[in-house]
Amino acid sequence: MRYAEVSVNSPAAQRRTFSYAIPDGLDVREGQAVLVPFGERVLQGIVLELTPVPAVEDTREILDVIGSEPVLTPSRVSLARWISDYYLSPLFDAVALMLPPGFERKAISFVSLTHPDADTSSLNDDQRKVVDIASGQGRVELKQLEKALGKKKASTVVSQLVRQGILTRSYELGPVRVKPKTELYIRLTDDNLNTSKLSIKQSALVDFLKERTVPVPWAEARQKTGCGKSVADALANKGLIAFYEQEVKREPISYIDIQTSQPLELTADQQSALDSIKSGLEKPGGAPDVFLLHGVTGSGKTEVYLQALAVAVKLGKRGIVLVPEIALTPQTIKRFAARFPHRVAVLHSRLSLGEQYDEWRRVSSGDCDVVIGSRSAIFAAQPDLGLIIIDEEHEWTYKQDNSPHYHARSVALKLAELTGALVVLGSATPDIESYYKAQRGEYQLLELPQRVVPSAGAPMPQVEVVDMREELKAGNRNIFSRSLSQAINEAIAARDQVILFLNRRGGATFIQCRRCGFVLRCKRCEAPLSHHIADDVLTCHQCGYKAPVTDVCPNCNSRQLKFLGIGTQKLEQEARYTFPRARQMRWDSDVTTGKSSHEAILRKFRNKEAEILIGTQMVAKGHDIPSVTLVGVVSADTSLNLPDFRSGERTFQLLSQVAGRAGRGPSGGRVIVQTFSPEHYAIQAAAGHDYASFYEQEIAYRREFHNPPFTRLARLTFMHTNDAICQREAERVKKMLVEEGDTRGIAGIDIIGPAPAYIHRLRGRYRWQLILRGSGLSAFLSPVAFPRGWAIDIDPMALVQ
């Protein structure tokens, strides 16, 4: 007998596998999807290991395999185990990241009579009832018996009858969630049809079909002939034409306006970066290299990626390219598709399940040289993986904020180790941790210090920092400093375009009573409510709660509520008032709800349908708008003042990115940053385009305050509707963890807290958190049993959540 360790799709399975015996005649391999009995149910599972001996004595048998081929390769099996071990997530959740889209299905249980004329004389009433129901039909769904006898009784009686050999169980997977897509086609049944007896419209349709030599989709025929469905139906009823369904492949990339592009002649810096990557790819065996490609926006990183991918393809390998979701625009996809026509797969969350499914099938069958996608594309079933590229590697969106809380960069590094693939991390503002590793020689640092300048003279834009305290002193209470308004006026006069950046949505960002100081808050989260101007409601940015606008203070009944703070909507209003001659557009998540509205906004702005574009960080990311000559950062302080050790890094990254939007065209650019903390090192360094000096200061602080990369963090959050219970549970767990450390002799782990989370109450539940600091946190926490309500985040991106 052989045995399999199976990861079972049940929340009860948590982080462990279960041992099952493999029945004779069933071909079961590692990575294979199977059906297994689990308690009273039948569930999907994935075989993670084959063993000669089971982990437990009593094993049940695997019922069947799902599909003849394994769905996971051995390296993906190891990757799933690592994710579960490291991020302490349920094993099947980790496995599920790599399964084909729509794979997860319920199994349906059936029973049938083993012999049609079974001897039922010795059965009791319940048993006979079941047999009667079963004998009326070929097989019955277990659910139907449960309805007739009650859940518990049905399951006992069925088990008895199965043991006596009277009933046999069988299983079937529930309905498929994704199917190949089909379209309605239309054809003539007889080519020599005489049209003389037909109506004008009918004969027009017939004539159209006669002329066509390839299969005709009905939608096309309708459009070209102007005939409605009733015309076609009438012909179909006479048997003259027929409708039929035919499979069509969903291809997210439209190649209609994509022309194949040739590799550009590289600059010296690009060439030496490519040479290093090339020799890494050609290196036989050994630990795979990791490269950190540090280059300002427009320095030609993407061209290096493209040529590195071409090298990998030449060597018979394939690549995965990760980009932040927001940067996954048709523009980006086009650049890759133009270099590798029809050999690129796209994976991101805006694809329909069907599109994801078709792309997954293309990738796993080896049809694509390059997979490009957001975070989860790292799990694509790309065979012969040789190169993983993570663009904008510092982006926080690479971390998943629900379970499994994985970071795509950490996963990529692990996957590279398992498959021998090489990793290229690219950024204009590398994550402090990545740059630290490059400094220590763990990664190879590749530098592209200059912009590639297609037209002569487009250096990095000049950045001016405006001290808003001085504006107040000078009597300017406007949100636009004198410098910024003057620059905007000049740009408008020169028919140039302007971007105004403010990292806060909405109108007023809080509403306070001038008499008693009361601030209006969300009933469920206690977050201050902000005012949305367009639909004139008060809303909570954490949970979406909406309340009508009021002018009466709920606390003291005075009519002195004042709308304070400024978000993008309010900024838009102010800008209209101050610059009445300029047309404006706004770009934030309040206006981009549709599938392609990011593109629509960008296109309009590129077509110069507005002079001023106002936006949150969306405007900062990865878009080339050549005619923008001025970028105004309305307040650099929103991210600077968050109580988080990464606030300096975050601010530096944001400002650098925003600044990178200016001067992408030949006329150069200018950036104005407004702040109440002009002396802050993050602002100073961003203004000077000086990553090195930012890094020196930041790494010194990290060392001094013992923060990553000098240690690791874990955030443990407990949620409960009752604040006192929540606090007590957090205190209890802290005590337990301290004792755990003592008994296991583990030293060097700090446990900070418990303290209320930064967002103390979210959607009606209070949150308390513990922060753990030290190394080996996953191993420390792994054996600890946490009750329901706890969430564990290893390597959290932010402590203020």
- How far apart, in whole angstroms, are the C-alpha atoms of residue 93 and residue 124? 44
Q: Are strands 290-295 and 444-448 parallel, antiparallel or unpaired?
A: parallel
- How far apart, in whole angstroms, are the C-alpha atoms of residue 492 and residue 577? 15
Q: Let me know: does 191 contact 225? Beta carbons within 8 Å.
A: no
- How far apart, in whole angstroms, are the C-alpha atoms of residue 275 and residue 644? 39
Question: Is 518 a binder of Zn ion (CB under 5 A)?
Answer: yes
Question: Is 513 a binder of Zn ion (CB under 5 A)?
Answer: yes
676: helix, strand or coil: coil
Question: Is 301 a binder of ligand ADP (CB under 6 A)?
Answer: yes
Dihedral of alpha carbons 470, 476, 481, 487, sign = negative
698: helix, strand or coil: helix
**Residue in the block written with tokens 């949970």:** 543
Q: Which region among 29-37, 298-306, 402-410, 561-569 touches ligand ADP (by CB under 6 A)?
A: 298-306
Question: Is 511 a binder of Zn ion (CB under 5 A)?
Answer: no
Question: Is 765 a binder of Zn ion (CB under 5 A)?
Answer: no
Amino acid at 518: F
Residue from 372, 522, 601, 602 that binds Zn ion (CB under 5 A)?
522
Q: CB under 5 to 8 A by kind: which of ligand ADP, Zn ion, none does 302 bind? A: ligand ADP
Q: Let me know: does 422 contact 277? Beta carbons within 8 Å.
A: yes
Q: CB under 5 to 8 A by kind: which of ligand ADP, Zn ion, none does 659 bind? A: none
Minimum CB distance to ligand ADP smaller for 267 or for 489: 267
707: helix, strand or coil: coil
Residue from 19, 127, 302, 497 that binds ligand ADP (CB under 6 A)?
302
Minimum CB distance to ligand ADP smaller for 336 or for 563: 336
DSSP tag of 395? -
Shortest Å distance, C-beta 538 to Zn ion: 11
292: helix, strand or coil: strand
Shortest Å distance, C-beta 377 to ligand ADP: 18
Minimum CB distance to ligand ADP smaller for 34 or for 293: 293
Taking Cα atoms as reference points, which of 407, 388, 411 lies closest to residue 398? Answer: 407
- Joined together, the tokens standing for residue 720 give 């409960």
**Residue in the block written with tokens 């409601």:** 537
- Joined together, the tokens standing for residue 603 give 């296109």
> Dmax of the chain from CA atoms?
102
In angstroms, how far is CA 350 from the centroid of its own chain? 10
Shortest Å distance, C-beta 371 to Zn ion: 37
Shortest Å distance, C-beta 312 to Zn ion: 47
229: helix, strand or coil: helix
Shortest Å distance, C-beta 347 to ligand ADP: 20
DSSP tag of 399? B
Please write down the HEC assignment for all residues of 617-637. Answer: HHHHCCCCCCCEEEEEECCCH
Shortest Å distance, C-beta 460 to ligand ADP: 12
537: helix, strand or coil: strand
Residues in contact with ligand ADP, counted by CB under 6 A, come to a total of 15
Residue 157: its H or E element: helix 151-163
DSSP tag of 786? P
Residue from 210, 343, 524, 720 that binds Zn ion (CB under 5 A)?
524
DSSP tag of 461? P
Q: Let me know: does 428 contact 393? Beta carbons within 8 Å.
A: no
In the shown chain, the binding pattern of residues 527 to 566 toward ligand ADP, with x for contact by CB under 6 A and - for none, equals ----------------------------------------
Which positions from 547 through 566 interact with Zn ion, judged by CB under 5 A? 553, 555-556
Shortest Å distance, C-beta 541 to Zn ion: 8
Q: How far is CA 249 from CA 181, 184, 357, 359, 381, in A?
A: 7, 14, 10, 9, 19
Residue from 299, 356, 376, 429 that binds ligand ADP (CB under 6 A)?
299
Residue 482: its H or E element: helix 482-493
- How far apart, in whole angstroms, are the C-alpha atoms of residue 243 and residue 238? 13
Cβ-based neighbours of 73, under 8 Å, separated by 6 or more: 31, 381, 383
Shortest Å distance, C-beta 317 to ligand ADP: 22
Minimum CB distance to ligand ADP smaller for 391 or for 795: 391
Q: Which region among 128-136, 296-304, 357-365, 759-767 touches ligand ADP (by CB under 6 A)?
A: 296-304
Minimum CB distance to ligand ADP smaller for 38 or for 336: 336
Minimum CB distance to Zn ion smaller for 210 or for 760: 760
**Residue in the block written with tokens 């859940």:** 151
Taking Cα atoms as reference points, which of 471, 538, 532, 545 lies closest to residue 506? Answer: 532
Minimum CB distance to ligand ADP smaller for 251 or for 690: 690
Q: CB under 5 to 8 A by kind: which of ligand ADP, Zn ion, none does 64 bind? A: none
- How far apart, in whole angstroms, are the C-alpha atoms of residue 733 and residue 791? 13
In the shown chain, the binding pattern of residues 449 to 488 toward ligand ADP, with x for contact by CB under 6 A and - for none, equals ---x-x----------------------------------
- How far apart, in whole angstroms, are the C-alpha atoms of residue 741 and residue 746? 5
Q: Let me know: does 375 contact 349? Beta carbons within 8 Å.
A: no
Q: Which region among 247-255, 289-297, 520-528, 675-683 touches Zn ion (by CB under 5 A)?
A: 520-528
Question: Is 297 a binder of ligand ADP (CB under 6 A)?
Answer: yes
Give the helix ranges, DSSP H, for 283-421: 301-314, 330-339, 353-364, 408-419
Q: CB under 5 to 8 A by kind: which of ligand ADP, Zn ion, none does 386 bind? A: none
Q: CB under 5 to 8 A by kind: which of ligand ADP, Zn ion, none does 530 bind? A: none
Q: Which region among 391-399, 463-471, 483-491, 542-550 touches Zn ion (by CB under 5 A)?
A: 542-550
Q: How far is CA 531 from CA 4, 478, 534, 615, in A?
A: 58, 20, 9, 17
Residue from 82, 103, 406, 545 that binds Zn ion (CB under 5 A)?
545
Question: Is 298 a binder of ligand ADP (CB under 6 A)?
Answer: yes
> Using CB atoms within 10 A of its CB, is residue 604 exposed (0-12), middle (13-18) or buried (19+)?
middle
Residue from 45, 70, 90, 300 that binds ligand ADP (CB under 6 A)?
300
Question: Is 573 a binder of Zn ion (CB under 5 A)?
Answer: no
Q: Which region among 13-21, 299-307, 309-317, 784-792 touches ligand ADP (by CB under 6 A)?
A: 299-307
Q: Which region among 28-36, 51-59, 512-520, 712-720 touches Zn ion (by CB under 5 A)?
A: 512-520
Amino acid at 192: N
Q: CB under 5 to 8 A by kind: which of Zn ion, ligand ADP, none does 419 bind? A: none
Q: Are strands 765-774 and 750-762 parallel, antiparallel or unpaired?
A: antiparallel
Shortest Å distance, C-beta 691 to Zn ion: 37
In the shown chain, the binding pattern of residues 243 to 272 toward ligand ADP, with x for contact by CB under 6 A and - for none, equals ---------------------xxxx--x--
Question: Is 480 a binder of Zn ion (CB under 5 A)?
Answer: no
Question: Is 653 a binder of ligand ADP (CB under 6 A)?
Answer: no
Shortest Å distance, C-beta 719 to Zn ion: 14
Residue from 525, 575, 614, 636 that binds Zn ion (CB under 5 A)?
525
Question: Is 540 a binder of Zn ion (CB under 5 A)?
Answer: yes
Minimum CB distance to Zn ion smaller for 220 or for 526: 526
Taking Cα atoms as reference points, which of 62, 53, 57, 50 lies closest to residue 24? Answer: 62
Question: Is 661 a binder of ligand ADP (CB under 6 A)?
Answer: no
Q: Residue 211: how many CA atoms within 13 Å on its side-chain side?
A: 8
Minimum CB distance to ligand ADP smaller for 339 or for 409: 339
Q: CB under 5 to 8 A by kind: which of ligand ADP, Zn ion, none does 301 bind? A: ligand ADP
Minimum CB distance to ligand ADP smaller for 266 or for 791: 266
Report the interface residues with Zn ion, using CB under 5 A: 513, 515-516, 518, 522, 524-525, 540, 542-543, 545, 553, 555-556
Rule CB under 6 A: which residues touch ligand ADP?
A: 264-267, 270, 295, 297-303, 452, 454
